[in-house]
Amino acid sequence: MQHTKDKYGETGGSLIVKEEMESARHFMETALRLGASQARISLSKSVLDSFSVLNGELDKVTHAADRSIYMYIFAEGRYGTFSTNMTDADKAEDFVSKAIETVKMLAPDPHRRLPDPARTAKDAQTGREAGLYDEEYGNVTSEERLAAALSGALMCGEDKRKGGLTGALVPGKDRQADRNGAETGMPAGDNWKMISEECEYSDSVDDNYTIDSQGFAGRHTETSFAFCSEVTIADKDGNRFSGYWWESSPFRSGLDLKDCSVAALRKAVSQIGPKRHRSGKYSMVVDRSVSSRLVSPLFSALNAMAIQQKNSFLDGSLGQKIFPEGMTIMDLARCCGRPGSRLFDTEGVATADAPVILDGVVKEYFVNTYMASKTGFAPTIEGVSRPVLMPFIQGGSSTGTGLVSEEKEVSLQDILHRCGSGIYVCGFNGGNCNQTTGDFSYGIEGFAFKDGKITHPVREMVITGNMISLWNSLLAAGSDARACTRWQIPTLAFEGVDFSA
Amino acid sequence: MTDRRYYLDTFKVTEEQMGRLVAEALAQGGDYADLYFEYTTYNDLLLRDGEVSSGGFHIDFGVGIRVLKGERTGYAYSENTGMTDMLAAARAAAMIAGGQARKQVERAASGMMGNDAGKTDIGNAGYGGTDSGEGWQDLYPMRQSWRSARAEEFLPFLKSLEQKITAKDGRVTKVIARLSDSQSDIMMFNSEGELTCDTRPLGSITASVIFCSGGKTENKTVSRSFRAGAEMVTEELIDEMAAEAVAGIDERFEAKRPKGGQMPVVMGAGASGILLHEAMGHSFEADFNRKGQSIFSGRTGEKICDSSISIVDDGTIAGNRGACNFDDEGIPGQKTYMVKDGILNSYLHDRISAKWFGVSPTGNGRRESFRFNPIPRMRATYMENGKASRDDIISSVKKGIYVDEFSNGQVKIGEGDFTFYVKSGRLIENGRLTAPVKDINIIGNGPQALADIIAVGNDLKIDNGTWTCGKDQSAAVSCGIPTVLVRSLTVGGN
C-alpha cells in the first residue's frame, strides 16, 4: 500500500494512488476531447480478505481486489454510462471513443446534465472526512485474520473432538434468556445437536474518487471489519433449524465477535418445536435485526424516478401528513464515523442531515439532477444514506416530536409489554411489496408472545397488508437500533396486522 | 482442434504460463487448482418516456484462481493477466493448503493437448466461429455476435415494443423497456490438464408497464431471456411480449386479496416452476447436503413424493437462460434427475461435493464471475409431464387458489420453509376459476409440499423470463412445470 501526500490530498494508506487519479482525469479529458460536453468519472478500488471456518476448521480463504472506472458521458444532449475494470490510461482512447459513439446513437434528452456545482460537496478531499477509515487496517496480518475466524467459532478444539455441541432446552424457561452454560449458554443434554457451524471473518477497504468536468472532486474511503456465524442444529427428531448473526464495524477495535456464534446458536435452538398459530389479526413486534425490511419500501416509493413513472404509492405525498403524528425518520448522512455516513452521493452532491419524514409529514423526495429537471421538484439527494427512525410510542406524552424524541430509551422488553400479546417477528422469508400500490405480503418467522413474554416459535406464517395502513398502525419504535448497521431502524411494533397460517 | 488461439490471445497468456500458475497454486500442498479466465462485455439500452435516451456498455476482465485442499477452498483473482499479478493471486489462493506441496501439477504443461472424454479443449472461437469437437453441439450458437451489433440496430425494436403495448390498451400510462446483453469469453484450465473454452451470450428484454384507470394504478412486467446472439431480437418476439404485457389487466384492476390460510393451490404451467426452484432445488444443492444443512440431507434413494413425479435440473436446453455448454469448472452441461419416479435420485454437484459423495460432478459448479469460486447452482429446473389435463386438475378443487405469475421466492435450507410471491391468480370455487387475486405470498415446507403434489398436468412449459438466482452470487437460471395441484399451502390474505 503506497503512502503519498500531494495535490490530491492526504492519501496515506489509501488504495487509489496518484497515478490512478491521473488516469481517471485522463479518461475525463479524453471524453471531453472526443466530443463530450460534460463528463463525470468515478474510480473505485477495493480489497477484501475473508477467512471462513466450517465446523471449527478453516474452510475457505478469499482475497479479492477490485478496481473499476465508471464514466457518465453527456454529449450532444445525449447521455450514457460506461464502465471497465481495464483502467490503464492507455486503454482510455479506444474505450472512450466507443462510448462517445454509443451516446451519439441515443435519443437526445434535454434533462440530462451534471448537478449545479454549488450543490456538490467541497469537504471530501482526502476520503477520510467521513471518519470511516481505520489506520489499523493496513496492519492486519493473515495470521490474525485466521485467528479471528477461529476464535469466533464455537465448534473447535475440545468441542470439535467431541463431535460437536449438544444441549437441551429447559421447558418453561424464557428462550431468549436460556443461557446458562459456560460455553454456549445451552445446558448439556440430548434435545438438540449442532449439525454445522459456518463462521467468516472479513475485512475490507473501499476507496472511491469521483471527479466531473465542472471541477468537482470527491473522495470517500472506508474500512470494514466483520464477522458472521450461521449455525444449523437438529432436534431429537432430526428436524433442522438454523440461526444467523453478524457483527461489523468500520474499526478493528469496534468488532466484537466473541458472542456472535452464541447468538446464532441461540437463534437456532430457540426455534425448536414450532407450532402453527391461528390466522388472525395480531399485534406484531419486529426485531431490530430485520425491521429495515419494512422501511425499505418507503424509501423506494419516495424516489422521484418512481414517482415520475407513476410507480409509487407515495406519489403526491410531499408535504402531506401520511404517517402517524410523531413518526420521524431522519437521514443523518453526516454523522461521521458511523456506518452509512457519506459526504456526497454518486452525482457528487453534498449530503445533509435532514428529515425524510417529520412528525408523520413527508419532507423529502429523493430527487437527482435529472429527475429535478424532468419533474420540477427541487433537487435533493439521490437516495437515503443513513436513515434513523426515532423512538416512538403511540399516543400520550411520550410520543416523539421530531428531531429529538422525548422517549429516550425504548427497549424490546418495553415494547413486548406494551403490546401484551401478539407475534414477535425475527425474520422474513420472501415476500414483496407492490411499489405501485403499497400492498405487501411477506413470509415471517418468529414467536408468539403473551403478557409480554415469548411462549413458542411459530411456523409458516404470512403477513399481508398495505404499507401506508401498516405504518399508520405503528404502536412503537424502540431506541435499540444496532450500532453496526447503516440503517438505524429499531424494534418496531404494529397493531392489527393480518397473519395467515 | 478448436481455435484455442482466440482465447489465449484474448487473455494474453500462453499455455506454459498457465502451467506455471497452476504449479504455483499447488506449491503449498493443494490437491487441485484451476484457472478461470473471463472477458465479458455488457450492453444496455433503456427506453423511458417514449425515447431510448439512456444506454451504455461495460467491460469486465480477469482471472480467478482456486486451490482445493480436500473440501477446503483458497480463492483469489486478478483483474489483469500479467504474470506478476496472476502469480500473486495464485500464491494467495495457495494459502489454503498451508503446507508442503504434496502433489505436482499433473500434465500441466504437456497436458494442454488433453481432450479427456471429449469434454476438454472444446469451445468456440468467439461468436459463430465454432470449431467443435466430434459429437459436441454448441447450445448457444450465435448468428450475430452482440459485440458486432450496433446499438442503433435495436432502437426500433424497443420503440416498437413501447408503441405496441401502448396501442393495445388505453390505460397504459408509462412503459419502461430495456434490452440488456452480455457476451462472455471463458477459458478454464486445471491441474488435471484440462483446458475448456466457451463463449456465452445472454440477451434479455424487459418491459415494465404502468396502467391507470379510475384513480387506480396497476403494473405489470414481462421479460424474455435467452442464451443467443443478437438475432434473438425480432419483431415476432416484440409482438409476443406486447400481447403478454396487457393480458389480464382487467382482472388485475378487479383483483383482491383472498381470505388467507391453508388451502389447495393449483400452480399454473410455466412460471410456477419457482416452486421447484425454492421448495426443492436449493435443498438438493450438494454443498448444503455435504454440510448436513439441508432438510434433504442423507435422503438419497428415498421415496419422497408420488412416483408420477420426476424433477430435472437441465443444462442442455439449447438457447435456454440456464444452458451450459460447460459449467464453470469445465464439466460438460448435462441433464440431472434430482427426483426420478418419486425417488430422490441425485443432488446437484460441483467438483468438491462430487468428490465428497463419491459421484461424478453433475455440471452444476457455477459462478457469477471470475470474482467468485464456483458452488453448486441450478440451471433450468423443471418437472416432467404427468398425465392429467389442466382443466381436470382445476375442476378437482372445490375451494382453493390458482396462481400463474410470480416475482420472487426464498427458502430456508435447514427448515425447508419456502415462500414465493404471487402477482396474479384466481380463486377456485367448485372447480371453476372465479375472482382474480394478486399480491399474496405463499409459504410452505419443501418436503411436505413435494409429498403433497397430488396431480401433475401434461402441459409442461419452460418459462423464459429473466430469472436470476441469488445464492450468495447471481446466476442466470430458468424454471418450468406443468400444471400441478398441491394439496395444501399457506396463502397470505386478509
Given A98, A311, A460, which is nearest B210 (Cβ)? Answer: A311
Q: Half-sphere exposure of B145 toward its Cβ, with a 13 Å CA cutoff?
A: 15
- A339 and A475 belong to one structural domain: yes
The answer to whether residue B51 neighbours chain A at the CB level (below 8 Å) is yes
Cell of B309: 413425479
Residues of B in contact with A232 (CB under 8 A): 291-293, 414
Where does the pLDDT of residue B409 fall: very low under 50, low under 70, confident under 90, or very high at 90 and above?
confident
Structural domain contains residue A369: yes
Q: For residue A2, what are the contacts with CB-CB under 8 A and spacing of at least 6? A: A17
Quick check: A86 and B61 CB within 8 A? yes
Given B56, B93, B297, which is nearest A82 (Cβ)? Answer: B56
Q: For residue B391, what are the contacts with CB-CB under 8 A and spacing of at least 6? A: none
Quick check: B291 and A198 CB within 8 A? yes
- A141 and A247 belong to one structural domain: yes
pLDDT exceeds cutoff 90 at A151: yes
Which has the minimum average pLDDT: A80-89, A157-166, B8-17?
A157-166
Quick check: A63 and B491 CB within 8 A? no
Query: To the nearest whole angstrom, how far is the Cα of A354 from the nearest Cα of chain B?
Result: 31
Given A95, A432, A436, which is nearest B210 (Cβ)? Answer: A436
Query: To the nearest whole angstrom, how far is the Cα of B303 from the nearest Cα of chain A?
Result: 18
Q: What DSSP element (H or E) covers A446?
A: strand A439-450
Quick check: A81 and B56 CB within 8 A? yes
Query: To the nearest whole angstrom, how far is the Cα of A251 from the nearest Cα of chain B?
Result: 24
The answer to whether residue B150 neighbours chain A at the CB level (below 8 Å) is yes
Distance from C-alpha of B355 to C-alpha of B365, rounded to nearest angstrom: 13
Alpha helices in B299-441, H assignment, sequence order: 351-357, 390-395
More confident residue, B257 or A229: A229
SS (H, E, C) B424-459: EEEEEECCEEEEEECCEEEEEEHHHHHHCEEEEECC
Which has the minimum average pLDDT: A198-207, B6-15, B120-129, B358-367?
B120-129
Look at the block and give the residue holding cell 459449467: B327
Is B447:B294 a contact under the CB 8 Å cutoff? no
Structural domain contains residue A54: no
Residues of B in contact with A239 (CB under 8 A): 415
Distance from C-alpha of B138 to C-alpha of B132, rounded to nearest angstrom: 8
Question: Strands A453-466, A474-477: parallel, antiparallel or unpaired by DSSP?
Answer: unpaired
Q: Which residue of A has its CA nearest to B76?
A: A63
Structural domain contains residue A407: yes
Alpha helices in A314-428, H assignment, sequence order: 369-375, 412-419
Distance from C-alpha of B132 to C-alpha of B118, rounded to nearest angstrom: 10
Q: How far is CA A69 from the centre of its chain?
A: 24
Report CA torsion sign: A4, A10, A12, A16. negative
What would the pLDDT profile of B43-90 be if each residue is shown by its tens digit? 999 999 999 999 999 999 999 999 999 999 999 999 999 999 999 999
Query: To the nearest whole angstrom, how far is the Cα of B449 from the nearest Cα of chain A?
Result: 12
Distance from C-alpha of B369 to C-alpha of A85, rounded to nearest angstrom: 13
Structural domain contains residue A477: yes
**C-alpha triplet B22, B26, B30: angle, nearest 5°:** 135
pLDDT exceeds cutoff 50 at B114: no
Q: Select the residue from B43, B441, B445, B486 to test the A interface by mutation, using most A Cβ atoms within 10 A.
A: B441
Q: For position A10, what pLDDT does the model report?
A: 45
What would the pLDDT profile of A394-453 be if each residue is shown by its tens digit? 875 444 433 344 556 899 999 999 999 999 999 999 999 999 999 999 999 999 999 999
Q: Half-sphere exposure of A271 toward its Cβ, with a 13 Å CA cutoff?
A: 27
ipTM here: 0.88
Residues of A in contact with B260 (CB under 8 A): 279, 462, 464, 498-500
pTM score, two decimals? 0.90
Helices (H) and strands (E) in chain A, counts: 10, 20
Distance from C-alpha of A379 to C-alpha of B65, rounded to nearest angstrom: 46
What would the pLDDT profile of B234-252 be if each residue is shown by its tens digit? 999 999 999 999 999 999 9
Residues of B in contact with A500 (CB under 8 A): 260-261, 490-493
Structural domain contains residue A127: no
Structural domain contains residue A240: yes
Task: Provide the chain B residues 247-306 that lie in CB contact (below 8 A) with chain A.
Answer: 257, 260-262, 278, 291-295, 297
Residues of B in contact with A501 (CB under 8 A): 261-262, 490
Distance from C-alpha of A89 to C-alpha of B40, rounded to nearest angstrom: 20
The segment with the largest mean pLDDT, out of A89-103, A314-328, B88-102, B407-421, is: A314-328
Q: For residue A376, what are the contacts with CB-CB under 8 A and spacing of at least 6? A: none
Cell of A356: 425524510
Question: Strands A240-249, A280-286: parallel, antiparallel or unpaired by DSSP?
Answer: unpaired
Domain boundary among A219, A246, A269: A269
Domain boundary among A243, A269, A295: A269
Residues of A in contact with B212 (CB under 8 A): 310
Q: Which residue of B has its CA nearest to A430?
A: B410
Cell of B153: 440496430
DSSP of A48-73: EEEEEEETTEEEEEEEEEEEEEEEEE
Where does the pLDDT of residue B100 fall: very low under 50, low under 70, confident under 90, or very high at 90 and above?
very low
- A389 and A492 belong to one structural domain: yes
Q: For position A2, what pLDDT does the model report?
A: 41
Rounded to an integer, the average pLDDT of B181-196 is 97
Quick check: A460 and B61 CB within 8 A? no
* Phi, then psi, of A71 in degrees rounded to 5: -115, 135
The answer to whether residue B418 neighbours chain A at the CB level (below 8 Å) is yes
Structural domain contains residue A128: no
Structural domain contains residue A120: no
Residues of A in contact with B420 (CB under 8 A): 430
Residues of B in contact with A443 (CB under 8 A): 410, 417, 419, 441, 443, 492
Distance from C-alpha of B276 to C-alpha of B267, rounded to nearest angstrom: 11
The answer to whether residue B218 neighbours chain A at the CB level (below 8 Å) is yes
Which CA distances in Å does B485 have to A186, A394, B269, B340? Answer: 43, 45, 11, 19
Distance from C-alpha of B40 to C-alpha of B185, rounded to nearest angstrom: 6
- A258 and A297 belong to one structural domain: no
Quick check: A435 and B219 CB within 8 A? yes
Residues of B in contact with A61 (CB under 8 A): 73-75, 92-93, 95-96
Is B439:A441 a contact under the CB 8 Å cutoff? yes
Quick check: A435 and B445 CB within 8 A? no
3-state secondary structure of B493: coil
pLDDT exceeds cutoff 80 at B117: no
Q: For position A253, what pLDDT does the model report?
A: 96
Task: Kindly tell me the burial class for residue A270, based on how many C-beta atoms sit within 10 Å of its own C-beta (0-12, 13-18, 19 or more).
Answer: buried
Is B329:B351 a contact under the CB 8 Å cutoff? yes
* Phi, then psi, of B151 in degrees rounded to 5: -55, -40
Q: For position A191, what pLDDT does the model report?
A: 87
Q: Select the residue from A82, A87, A432, A498 to test the B interface by mutation, using most B Cβ atoms within 10 A.
A: A432
Given A85, A195, A501, which is nearest B490 (Cβ)? Answer: A501
Q: For position A268, what pLDDT does the model report?
A: 95
The answer to whether residue B488 neighbours chain A at the CB level (below 8 Å) is no
More confident residue, B96 or B344: B344
Where does the pLDDT of residue B292 fall: very low under 50, low under 70, confident under 90, or very high at 90 and above?
confident
- A299 and A251 belong to one structural domain: no
Quick check: B439 and A83 CB within 8 A? no
- A220 and A349 belong to one structural domain: no
Cell of A205: 477497504
- A284 and A259 belong to one structural domain: no
Which has the minimum average pLDDT: A274-278, A418-422, B482-486?
A274-278
Query: To the nearest whole angstrom, how far is the Cα of A148 from the nearest Cα of chain B?
Result: 16
Quick check: B80 and A86 CB within 8 A? yes
Residues of B in contact with A102 (CB under 8 A): 55-57, 151
Domain holding A26, by residue range, is: 5-45+64-115
Q: Select the residue from B59, B61, B96 to test the A interface by mutation, using most A Cβ atoms within 10 A.
A: B59
pLDDT exceeds cutoff 60 at A98: yes
pLDDT exceeds cutoff 70 at A92: yes
Residues of B in contact with A82 (CB under 8 A): 56-58
Q: Which residue of A has its CA nearest to B53?
A: A107
Distance from C-alpha of B274 to C-alpha of B420, rounded to nearest angstrom: 7
Q: Please count the structural domains in chain A.
A: 3
CATH number at residue A185: 3.30.2290.10
Q: For position A91, what pLDDT does the model report?
A: 82
Q: For position B123, what pLDDT does the model report?
A: 34
Quick check: B292 and A196 CB within 8 A? yes
Task: Kindly tell me the burial class for residue A395, based on how many C-beta atoms sit within 10 Å of its own C-beta (0-12, 13-18, 19 or more).
Answer: exposed
Distance from C-alpha of A365 to C-alpha of A134, rounded to nearest angstrom: 33
- A192 and A245 belong to one structural domain: yes
| Average pLDDT of chain B, as a whole number | 91
Quick check: B440 and A437 CB within 8 A? no
Amino acid identity at B91: R
Query: To the nearest whole angstrom, how far is the Cα of B135 from the nearest Cα of chain A?
Result: 37
Q: What is the DSSP letter of B252?
A: H
Q: For position B374, what pLDDT does the model report?
A: 97
- A108 and A204 belong to one structural domain: no
Q: How far is CA A420 from the centre of its chain?
A: 30
Q: Which residue of B has its CA nearest to A466?
A: B439
Q: Which residue of A has its CA nearest to B414?
A: A240
Name which of B221, B256, B246 is nearest B401 in CA terms.
B256
Q: For residue B194, what are the contacts with CB-CB under 8 A and spacing of at least 6? A: B111, B114, B116, B119, B120, B121, B188, B330
What would the pLDDT profile of B129-167 be if each residue is shown by its tens digit? 334 456 678 999 999 999 999 999 999 999 999 999 999
Rounded to an integer, the average pLDDT of A260-282 is 94
Distance from C-alpha of A330 to C-alpha of A384, rounded to nearest angstrom: 9
- A249 and A195 belong to one structural domain: yes
Distance from C-alpha of B465 to C-alpha of B204, rounded to nearest angstrom: 8
Alpha helices in B260-350, H assignment, sequence order: 274-275, 282-284, 286-290
Number of C-beta neighbours around residue A202 at 10 A: 20
- A170 and A213 belong to one structural domain: yes
Cell of A173: 424457561
Q: For position A88, what pLDDT does the model report?
A: 80
Q: Which residue of A has its CA nearest to B252?
A: A437
Q: Half-sphere exposure of B350 toward its Cβ, with a 13 Å CA cutoff?
A: 21
Cell of B431: 372447480
What would the pLDDT profile of A445-501 be if each residue is shown by its tens digit? 999 999 999 999 998 899 999 999 999 999 999 999 999 999 999 999 999 999 999
Beta bridge partners of A453: A450
Residues of B in contact with A310 (CB under 8 A): 173-174, 210, 212, 217
Number of C-beta neighbours around residue B114 at 10 A: 16
Q: What is the radius of gyration, based on Cα positions, of chain B?
A: 24
The answer to whether residue B448 neighbours chain A at the CB level (below 8 Å) is no
pLDDT exceeds cutoff 80 at B124: no
Is A453:A177 a contact under the CB 8 Å cutoff? no
Q: For position A399, what pLDDT does the model report?
A: 41
Q: Which domains does chain B have, with CATH numbers?
A: 4-42+55-130 (no CATH), 151-185+201-254 (3.30.160), 261-491 (no CATH)
**C-alpha triplet B431, B435, B436: angle, nearest 5°:** 115
Quick check: A498 and B89 CB within 8 A? no
Q: What DSSP element (H or E) covers A160?
A: helix A157-161
- A338 and A228 belong to one structural domain: no
Residues of B in contact with A195 (CB under 8 A): 291-293, 414
Quick check: B291 and A240 CB within 8 A? no
Rounded to an integer, the average pLDDT of A150-162 is 70
